Amino acid sequence: MKIEKMRFGVLTEKGHAEVRERALPPVGPEDVLVKQEACNICTTDYQQWLGQREGRGYPMASGHESSGIVVETGEDVKDLKPGDRVALAYVTCGICDGCKRGTGCSNNEIGPKKVSGDGYRGMFAYADYAVRPARALIKMRKDLEPGEAAFMEPLAAVVKGLSKLRVQPLETVVVVGAGTMGLLNAQAARALGCRVIVSELMENKIKTAREMGFEVIDGNVTDPVEEVKRLTDGKGADAVILAVAATAVNRQAFELVKKLDGRILYFGAAYPAPELSIDSNVIHYRRLELIGTFGADLADFCTAADMLNQGVVRVSALIEKNRYPLDRIQEAFAEAAVPGKFRVSVLL
């Protein structure tokens, strides 16, 4: 049976998501038709639902943490076949110098920058079917749950950040924030041989971090700076990953990191933007490195897929128990926006 329509979730205004239908684009020679199984609601998506990212525009057919099953492939697609489980990487042009090198697309139009011919923004990841360039799909293990396979994209962003941070085995890394991205960072750093200490305030996140086997600092009862000093014999951390963005956390990072040659990775973003103020002489004399990270390159997606496929990083605890069908996407966004939640998965 030929599939001609796709049903998809779309944000039409602040606080409102609904399901619409449109014609399915044709499958070109280098394209793949995917029966999408799950899309997890990213922070970026629910922040727009909350009205915090209105600049992204409407109507927003958002989502980018998705996985599905290959239904049909174009005639020039060699590495994928019907029945393969795949996860979505970035949809790139495939022809610029950055794409050829695998280091990022110079003409990247992913996410809110991508506008379809019928006026929708976004990647249509909350959809039952989608046509994707084969270069934007990476094969995943068939027995992974769909929502777990969909973690490839956020984990790729973690891999990119850790590569910029240059973590080494036996280093002590402090992750501030035990939300979804914090615990992805913590697991990946541990997989690279680091000692990982997690600092958090919310009870459910503290519980999850401890269940994952991490050393956890409850910031409600213990001063994180003093505890990190105690746990490191007064030295401080080799590196700090800020998986939450807040002015207070920005200040705290300089006290958590060791006196000389420490590195701080700014992984998270917040709206309105938190403040960062420090005497540049401190950076100079302490030889500090302040590192920003965003997105991922092709190699990062491949590494993230391997980590999930081999079970090096496990994400089942980072998915909320309530799963929502596409027709209940408004309820899914409402739950995802509740403070303290991990990923909410929309089943397609």
Whether the predicted pLDDT of 20 surpasses 60: yes
pLDDT bracket for residue 114 (50, 70, 90): low
Fold entry, domain 156-292: Rossmann fold (3.40.50)
Helix, strand, coil: what percent of the chain each, to 5?
Answer: 30, 25, 40
Concatenated DSSP letters of 145-171: -HHHHTTHHHHHHHHHHHHHHT--TT-
**pLDDT per position as a tens digit, 162-216:** 999 999 999 999 999 999 999 999 999 999 999 999 999 999 999 999 999 999 9
pLDDT bracket for residue 123 (50, 70, 90): very high
Characterize the bridge pairing of strands 31-40 and 65-73.
antiparallel
**Alpha carbon distance 167, 193 (integer Å):** 9
The pLDDT value given to residue 241: 98
Lowest mean pLDDT among 18-27, 48-57, 233-242: 48-57
Lowest mean pLDDT among 37-41, 90-94, 332-336: 90-94
The pLDDT value given to residue 119: 87
Contacts 24+ apart (CB under 8 A), 282-285: 282/254
Answer positive or negative: Cα dihedral of 138, 139, 141, 144. Answer: positive
**For residue 293, which amino acid is it?**
T
Concatenated DSSP letters of 211-269: HTT-EEEETTTS-HHHHHHHHTTT--BSEEEE-S--HHHHHHHHHHB-SSS-EEEE---
List, in order, residues 6 or more apart from 128 with CB less than 8 Å away: 6, 7, 8, 35, 36, 326, 348
Strand partners, 131: 33
pLDDT bracket for residue 221 (50, 70, 90): very high
What number is the average pLDDT over the span 100-122? 72
Reported as type and span, the H/E element at residue 33 is: strand 31-40
**Alpha carbon distance 309, 263 (integer Å):** 30
Cα-based distances in Å from 139 to 36, 92, 142, 144, 330: 13, 17, 9, 11, 30
In the chain, CATH 3.90.180.10 covers 5-151+315-347
One CATH from 3.40.47.40, 3.90.180.10, 3.40.50.2000, 2.102.10.10 for 5-151+315-347: 3.90.180.10
Q: What's the length of the chain? A: 348
Whether the predicted pLDDT of 96 surpasses 90: no
Residue 212: count of CB within 10 angstroms of its CB: 18
The pLDDT value given to residue 82: 97
**For residue 246, which amino acid is it?**
A
**pLDDT per position as a tens digit, 278-325:** 999 999 999 999 999 999 998 999 999 999 999 999 999 999 999 999
More confident residue, 96 or 148: 148
pLDDT bracket for residue 327 (50, 70, 90): very high
**If phi over 0 gives left and psi between -120 and 50 gives alpha, with beta otherwise, what is residue 13?**
beta
Strand partners, 138: 87
Strand partners, 217: 199
In the chain, CATH 3.40.50.720 covers 156-292
The pLDDT value given to residue 104: 74
**Alpha carbon distance 105, 92 (integer Å):** 6
The pLDDT value given to residue 112: 52
Of 152, 182, 322, 165, the C-alpha closest to 242 is: 182
252 touches 226 (CB < 8 A): no
